[in-house]
Structure 1
Amino acid sequence: QARSVILSTGARWRNVNVPGEQEYKNKGVAYCPHCDGPLFKGKRTAVIGGGNSGVEAAIDLAGIVQHVTLVEFADQLKADAVLVSKLKSLPNVSIHVNAQTTEITGADGKVNGLKYKDRATNEEHLVPLEGVFVQIGLVPNTEFLKGTVELSRFGEIVVDTKGHTNVPGVFAAGDCTTVPYKQIVIAAGEGAKAALSAFDHLIRQPVVAAASEAVAV
Structure 2
Amino acid sequence: MGLSISVGPLGVPEAEVLRRGLAAVGVGWREPGGVGQGFSAGFPYSYLGKLRRVYVLHRVGEPVTGARQVDAERFADELALVEDETYMFDSHLLCHSDCEGYYVPLDLVDPLFLSEESEVPGGGMVGSSGALLGELQGFAGAIGVRLTADGVLGAAESARLAALPADDPFEPEVFAWHQLYQACRASLAGGWTVAFG
Q: Same fold by TM-score, threshold 0.5 exceeded?
A: no
- Higher share in helix: 2
Q: Which structure would you say has the larger Rg?
A: 1
TM-score, length of structure 2 as denominator length: 0.26
- Higher share in strand: 1
